[in-house]
Structure 1
Amino acid sequence: MEPTIIKGNHFKDDRGTVIFNNDFNALGIKRVYTLENNSTDFARCWQGHKIEQRWFSAISGSFTIKLIEIDLWENPSKDLKVLEFVLSAENLDVLHIPKGFVTSIQADEEQSKLLVFADYELGEIKDEFRFPADYFN
């Protein structure tokens, strides 16, 4: 399965603005949290999951999300293909990250906030993998 963007949209009139995503199905979501980086110079990388899935949506500002599909979790190749996505709070786009990927999350604007959904509860399974920021080429 490949990562995909589930497109959101917005509607504005004299009453205000509604930002929505009518195509995002939250069935199976067990946990939700937000991430805020301290600086736009900092990238939160590389962390991922062999079993768990994640869904990301910018609720303030914007983020550049880089993804790498891992081949061997215990000793992955350092030259794997990097996919890049940009999420903005302008529309409620949701990036679905299937199992088997590690992420790098960098805020593009100060005070950006990322909403994260997960399909497993905290501690339900042991499925967190981290690699040094300079591990992948």
Structure 2
Amino acid sequence: MDKPAILEGKSYSDERGNVIFNNDFNVTEIKRMYYIENTDTEFIRGWTGHKIEQRWFSALQGSFLIRLIKIDHWELPSRQSEILKFELNAGNLNVLHVPKGYVSAIQAREENSRLLVMGDYFLGESDDIYRFPIDYFENL
């Protein structure tokens, strides 16, 4: 998958309760995971990206707006790039796949939101982190 996409979760309910699942999400590439809690809903964490690493995001609690920009020239990326926007909510176990070559900006939409982040490289396995000031891309 070369473009970001949401793998949609599903749910099932019966007299025993609810099951929320995502059978379309293949976890075989995942090597590590962690979660993010932003300080508040005004704070935007970003822009951070990877040339070779992939990421998968899923809201564990609350909801998030995730903005993505494709970077073709990492040394001097365009300051006016198209921003893709995705909303993730804890209630449905959707997973956003972010292929290599993208930077992200992450904003919690609700207080106490938690975002699960999964990656396909172990911490320290690659030197593949690129950060840009939050105001670098003019059309945020």
TM-score w.r.t. the length of structure 1 is 0.97
Residues 24-39 of structure 1 mapped to structure 2, 5 A cutoff: 24-39=25-40
Q: Distance in 2 between matches of 1:38 and 1:103?
A: 17
Deviation at 1:13, TM superposition (A): 2.8
SS in 1 for 2:110: coil
Query: RMSD over aligned Cα, in angstroms?
Result: 0.8
Any gaps of 5 or more consecutive residues in structure 2? none
Name whichever of 108-117 and 4-13 sits farther off. Answer: 4-13
- Matching residue's letter, 2:30: I
Q: Percent identity?
A: 59
Q: Which 4+ residue blocks in structure 1 deviate beyond 4 angstroms?
A: none
SS in 2 for 1:90: helix
Q: What whole-Å deviation, never above 9, does each CA across 1:4-30 have from its counterpart, x for those lacking one?
A: 100001222332221110110001110
State the aligned residue count: 137
Residues 101-120 of structure 1 mapped to structure 2, 5 A cutoff: 101-120=102-121
Equivalent residue for 2:65? 64
- Matching residue's letter, 2:5: T
Q: What whole-Å deviation, never above 9, does each CA across 1:15-74 have from its counterpart, x for those lacking one?
A: 222111011000111001111101000010100000000000001110000000012111
Deviation at 1:122, TM superposition (A): 0.2
Equivalent residue for 2:91? 90
Equivalent residue for 1:46? 47
TM-score w.r.t. the length of structure 2 is 0.95
- Matching residue's letter, 2:89: S
Any gaps of 5 or more consecutive residues in structure 1? none
